[in-house]
Structure 1
Amino acid sequence: MYEELIAKMNPCPKLNLQWYKNEDLYSDGEVEDFIIKIIAENRPEDYSNAVYEQFNWPIYYHLSPLRKNILNWYKFKPDSSVLEIGCGMGAITSVLCDECKDVTAVELSRKRATATLLRCREKENLEIIVGNLNDIEFDKKYDYITLIGVLEYQGTYTESTNPYMDFLVKIKQLLKPDGKLLVAIENQYGLKYWCGMPEDHVGIPFEGINQYRDVERGVRTFSKTALDTLIKESGFHNTYFYYPYPDYKLPTVIYSQDVLPSKKDTINSENFRDYSSADKNTLIANEKKLYTDIVENGVFEFFANSFLVECSDSSQLGEITFARLTSERKEQYRMATRFTKQNTVEKKPLTKMCEQTHVKQMLKNVDLIKQAGIKIAEYRVDDGILVSSYIQKPILEDVIMEALKENNADEIYRLIDQVYREILQSSEQVSWKDNILYTLGLEIEENEEAFGPILKVGFLDMSFRNSFYCDGEILWFDQEWVLEAVPAKFILYYALTLLYYSYPQLEQCCPSPDVIKRYHMENAYEAFKEFQELFGYLVADEAQVVTGGTFLIDGTVDYISNVKKLMK
């Protein structure tokens, strides 16, 4: 039914129907036709407006840029070949095409394969094969094979007494000697399931925990130990475990066996997704509130919602140890921050637009801050990626928390004062009448005393989280955002908002009303709050924030409540 559409669009990838048996064994129903229509009517990977306007879960799930986060941070070898098993509607295929020399994508459903064909219509290095992997004869071996949400279904699609192992054994034969298999799958004992979330594949609460006793053979997930054993008994000598958070389907953070979440991570949980929207009637506990205890008791790996496992005979695994993704932003601002075993920190643009604009701005920001006589960690550029050395110094935010433990308000205020002095030093000043807040149509009264000094260039990331404290001096890093003609007090307000959001216990030692008075923000507070929300709108991909339930800018922006007003 899509032959005319395909002929009209003349996509570059090859569509191979040699192994197709003229039946699609699974489908989300008619919504898949609508998704294909969205794909065809929009430029590749630009679906945010359509998702926002026609939101439902299948549309969001298949078209959200967050789907790419399971692999867009990964370091693929140059000139490598990839076999993607179960490409679905192409959510990850374009990432593989961009990162690797050639991609072979296998998909059981012709309709979904058609979606991938149209979604990746500009990719000349892609062949899509429609059919069951177990039937297909391949004439080459691959550097990488991906199984993203596929292994758990092999009880249905692999006919043998041990379908999961036999499937992995077959896959290993398609890998080069040092090739790598990447497996993403839900954890049978994921925390969301203990809280009552229905098992993803069968829709029954606690079904995986109860060993799938109420469903017939066909689908199952595994614990970490069971999965590791299965992979190694299938012939792979080595594994490396990653833990996509909150899960592998729409991850925003990638932890690893070398870098697990800390207590601070779980308390902040800025990227936590509320699963209760799926079925509130079955939930018996609050997942978010349990994470702190799970981390403190050293059992995160057992309760993680999902796994991503790197499997190989090679021992060269786990080159990346941690990654944080910002795909909830607009296309030009999407980046991955990744930590490597070589003690480097890398800022990888996730889109061409980001590489061409935002990365260049970040490099410019480093030069501007240095010219102001302020210390900042510098980058080198490696193939479009910003690379800096890992700095083993305390974050200023942590230094403030140590002072809080001692109830040392004077020390906390001293550190805040020090930050504010550097904010004032970071740029020359302009006339108070040039204040950016007066030019945005927010109906803010002009008041020189209320807003204080106006910086020609304001660096919004001069926060307690984006600074090291080194022998009494501040070393800044990751200065992404700049605005012109910004009140210096707004930069401080922005930093304090993040600090107090992350650590509400600060109120006990340094109450926020006292802080507001100390820095004379009483008459500017409401204007700053409104301006902060407007900035969030300028940065955020509206479809991801409003429909996806994620927080923006580390959770500091109350975006949804005012976005309609600010759009006028």
Structure 2
Amino acid sequence: MSEVKERPVPIHLSEDEVLNRLPERIGDVILNYRYYPGKDLYSDGTIEDEILAIVKDASKVEYPAIIERKKSWPVLYHLSPLRGNIVDWLPIGRKDKVLEIGSGCGAITEKLAEKAGTVTCVDLSAKRSHINAYRNHDKDNIEIHVGNFSDIEPSLPKDYDYICMIGAFEYGQSYIHTDTPYEDFFKIIKKHIKDKGRIIIAIENKLGLKYWAGCKEDHLGTWFSGLEGYPEGGSARTFTRKGLEKIFLSCGVTEYSFYYPYPDYKFPTMIFSDKRLPNQGELTDNMRNFDRDRLMLFNEKYVFDGIVEDGLFDIFSNSFLAVIGEKLDTSYVKYSNDRAVQYALRTEITDTKEGRVVRKIPLNERAWEHIKEMKRFYNLLEERYRGSGLCINPCELKAAASSETRERGYAEFPYEKGTSLETLLDQCLEKNDMDGFYRLFDRYYELIAYGEGKEITDYDMVFGNILADGDKWTVIDYEWTIEERVPAAEIAFRALYCYVLAEEKRNKLDLGLLMGRLGISEQTAGEYRMKEKRFQKQVTGKRKSMGELRDDIGNCCVSPMMLMELHKKEILNQRIQLYYDQGEGFKEEDSRYIPDIYLDDYKIAVEIPFDGNIRALRIDPADRSCMVKMMELSLNGSPVPLHKRYVETNGKAVKTGCYVFDTQDPNITVWVSALPMTGENILSVKMEITPVPSDMALDVMGAIKKFF
């Protein structure tokens, strides 16, 4: 990391001291303390010192390895390059002035500074602003104002092209202390945007599906608090889409668009819009509880499928990205920057004057070489499959749209209409139409096998990369083409392998039958699986996925159904079942449970009243193998002798009054008819019950048999 210049600023300063130390520079970044109150009013504690040390000592290329090593939510949140995806796709150019409110540790600042002419940041924390400055020290277009937004705002200019509030608008009531803080906050912000400028707000959806499914509310860390309307208060408020629209309209705003970052705005990998909403089966990455434990009340993928089918995604999207101002041409964005640097790119669906197109845009210079290969791959694949009936979506290399942006060139493809082969196969499985499934698969195999002898292969010809529009089948993504001769059976096996792995419901497929159709042995299939693992490591650069990082951080995901079963088992273990024999033996209908009889974890005490018509009482002390020590057994105050004439069990006596049971249905029968009874009787029982593993109980019973 290059040397940076810093003039240390004490954490607590008087006003004169602050004014005498303006401005401070860290590298090329300016920190402005004119409105700093002299101390940080909020902090995440020592973790901020840890992050500050990282950005001082490490370069950005080291961040992914540090994230994996630290296994820490704050380190992941503040340093992950995926954070910048939320603004990376916006058409911010070299001449644009950007205001970022709530810039924090600079994850978004970094991306804005790469794109814009100037970036003005506002943040309350000096510590976080230092982190921001160090991580972006090589940018000469950033100024950070440290202090309360309300104090700084009057000094800000009124000609910004973009104002970004990424995870900041929800704290409006902390900045503005009025009866309508969010409306007033928005009106203040609106004063600083130029004509045809845009305000960008990223915020959690109050009704986001993840909250219904059991994730804790992002700001309070409590379950269902947003859904319940924040009954316990708190500094932040999130909104539904209608709630945000109400604020915009009350402030005189009528031109705005909603985008839907998925899985959420913090680490978005896809961004949908009203012009391009998700398809069924597309929303599969739903385990988003990196920072806290969560419940799992249902499978979010299946619920999202129903929501998408019924056109309700704009209500239950986990996050919103509101663009206030002139509408954008881009309707969909997908990021592939969680893999090796040379393969990091952004895919967009964009409307142009000539029509809708798909663009693949490199996110760095090395990835541009990867993009340029796509044109050559198109030519080679088109030649291989010419005359087969399988179309290859044409690719054209384009220069950057404007010299005013910092974008590189990109690959452009026509936007193809149709239904993915993956969806068609799923529909067959849902209908249990296996003949239809095999017809589609056989056609797929026939098409991809065309020209099999040529040394050009699309290795990633999975079902999701083929669109069917009637009889026209088109390959829409051939990024992973190789100049090698690969058997069609291997490509088809890989497509099936990826297909089944992605969805539990597809396990109904008879893979043995399909492998037989492809002529693939189990040994060959094993070799193909190993090859797939090597391929994935190549693509990811051996970096861990977000799912793996979540597992490393170690927060729990708990099923309430499982908890309920455990609780139910605990309840069952804290009661006894009592049977009454009135001369016809023991029957379930003549039994009852007696709860709340435990004195502690092992000891029970109960008094059982019964009339003179009862022949015997049977006590079932547990629903598992156990040992029972009889501490008291008396009838009407007189001890019951512990021998077989009066007491029988289906266990074995270790010694008098101590029994071991290797059954899940232990029982003790007291023959009360053999004892002196009255009209109304009370059997008093005290016993100690100790659960033991069934194999241990069996061993003890075996030892008793040998001994006796």
TM-score, length-scaled by structure 1? 0.83
SS of residue in 2 equivalent to 1:161? coil
Instruction: Determine whether 1:204 maps to 2:252.
Output: no
Matched, 1:361 2:373: yes
Aligned CA RMSD, in angstroms, stands at: 2.8
Distance in 2 separating the partners of 1:199 and 1:411: 44
Is 1:272 the counterpart of 2:272? The answer is no
Matches of 2:105 and 2:433, distance apart in 1: 55
Per the alignment, residue 385 of structure 1 pairs with 410
1:124: Cα distance to partner?
A: 2.1
Corresponding residue number in structure 1 for 2:512: 513
Identify the residue that residue 437 of structure 1 maps to in structure 2.
none
Q: What's the counterpart of residue 344 of structure 2?
A: 334
Q: Could you tell me how far 1:463 is from its partner in structure 2?
A: 2.3
**One-letter amino acid matched to 2:231:** R
Letter in 2 for 1:514: L
Contact 1:67 1:250 in 2 (8 A): yes
In structure 2, the partner of 1:534 is 534
Amino acid at match of 2:205: N
Residues of 1 paired with 2:311 and 2:384: CA distance?
A: 44
* Larger gyration radius, structure 1 or structure 2: 2
CA change 1:549–1:279 in 2 (3 A) is: closer
1:291-302 equivalences under 5 Å are 291-302=304-315
CA-CA distance at 1:533 after TM superposition: 1.3
After superposition, where does 1:128-527 map in structure 2 within 5 Å?
A: 128-136=144-152, 137-216=155-234, 218-266=235-283, 269=284, 271-275=285-289, 278-280=292-294, 284-312=297-325, 316-342=326-352, 343-355=356-368, 357-374=369-386, 375-380=391-396, 381-383=398-400, 384-401=409-426, 409=434, 412-425=437-450, 428=453, 456-469=455-468, 472-483=471-482, 485=484, 487-488=486-487, 489-502=489-502, 511-522=510-521, 523-527=523-527
1:51 Cα deviation from its structure 2 partner: 0.7
Amino acid at match of 1:81: K
1:554 equivalent in structure 2? none
Deviation at 1:428, TM superposition (A): 4.6
Q: CA deviation at 1:505?
A: 5.5
TM-superposed CA distance for 1:515, in Å, is 0.8
Code of the residue aligned with 2:494 in structure 1: it is Y
Confirm or deny: 8 A CA contact 1:49 1:543 kept in the other structure: no
**1:272 CA drift (Å):** 2.4
Could you tell me how far apart the structure 2 residues matched to 1:168 and 1:426 are? Answer: 60
* Identity between Structure 1 and Structure 2 (%): 32
Counterpart-to-counterpart distance in 2, 1:546 and 1:506 = 21
Amino acid at match of 2:480: W
1:24 aligns with 2:34: no
Offset of residue 351 of structure 1: 2.7
Cα distance between partner residues in 1 of 2:305 and 2:434: 26
CA contact (8 A) 2:4 2:27 kept: no
Q: Which amino acid in structure 1 is aligned with residue 379 of structure 2?
A: D
* 1:52–1:547 Cα contact (<8 Å) kept: no
- Secondary structure class of the residue paired with 2:203: strand
Secondary structure at 1:310's aligned position in 2? strand
CA distance in 2, matches of 1:251, 1:37: 27
Task: State the AA in 2 paired with 1:296.
Answer: E
Q: In structure 2, how many angstroms separate the alpha carbons of the residues matched to 1:134 and 1:45? A: 36
Give how far 1:27 is off: 1.9
Q: Secondary structure at the match of 1:367?
A: helix
**8 Å Cα contact 2:380-2:456 kept in structure 1:** no
Q: SS of 1:22's equivalent?
A: coil
Answer yes or no: is the 8 Å Cα contact 2:417–2:469 preserved in 1.
no
Shift of 1:406: 7.0
Q: Is the CA contact (8 Å cut-off) linking 1:6 and 1:118 kept in structure 2? A: no
> What's the counterpart of residue 626 of structure 2?
none
| 3-state SS of 2:320 partner | strand
Change in Cα spacing, 1:42 to 1:418, as seen in structure 2 (3 Å) is farther
**CA–CA separation in structure 2 for the residues paired with 1:277 and 1:60:** 10
Return the letter of the residue paired with 2:375. Answer: L
Question: Structure 1 residues 11 and 245 mapped into 2: Cα distance closer, same or farther (>3 Å)?
Answer: same
Pair 1:466–1:317, CA change in 2 (3 A): same
Show the counterpart of 1:453. Answer: none
Partner deviation per Cα, 1:398-422 (whole Å, 9 max, x = no partner): 4445665776655544543444455
> 1: distance between equivalents of 2:490 and 2:226?
50
Find the aligned partners of 1:296 and 1:424 in 2 and give their Cα distance.
Answer: 34
- Aligned match of 1:87: 103
Given candidates 137, 157, 182, the residue that maps to 1:121 is 137
Aligned residue for 2:81? 65
Deviates more, 1:271-280 or 1:93-102: 271-280
Cα distance change on mapping 1:394 and 1:156 into 2, 3 Å: closer
Look up the equivalent residue of 1:97 and give its one-letter code. A
CA distance in 1, matches of 2:188, 2:126: 23
Deviation string 1:81-129 (CA, Å, 9 cap, x unpaired) is 2111111111111221222222112221111111111222222222222
- Counterpart CA distance in 1 for 2:169 and 2:192 is 16
SS in 2 for 1:210: coil
Residue 102 to residue 540, structure 1, CA distance change in 2 (3 Å): same
Q: Is the 8 A contact 1:82 1:143 kept in 2?
A: yes
Distance 1:515 1:86, change over 3 A: same
SS in 2 for 1:263: coil
**SS at 1:244 equivalent:** strand
TM-aligned CA deviation for residue 140 of structure 1: 4.5
Decide which structure has greater helix share.
1
Per-residue displacement from partner, 1:164-215 (whole Å, max 9, x unpaired)?
Answer: 1111111100000111101011111222222332221112212122222212
**Distance in 1 separating the partners of 2:81 and 2:4:** 28
In structure 2, runs of 5+ residues without a counterpart are: 9-24, 401-408, 552-708
Name whichever structure is richer in strand by fraction: 2
Alpha carbons of structure 1 residues 231 and 292: separation in structure 2 relative to 1, 3 Å: same
Where does structure 1 lack aligned partners over 5 or more consecutive residues? 430-455, 551-568
Residue type of the alignment partner of 2:498: L
In structure 1, the residue matched to 2:562 is none
- Which amino acid in the other structure matches residue 465 of structure 1? G
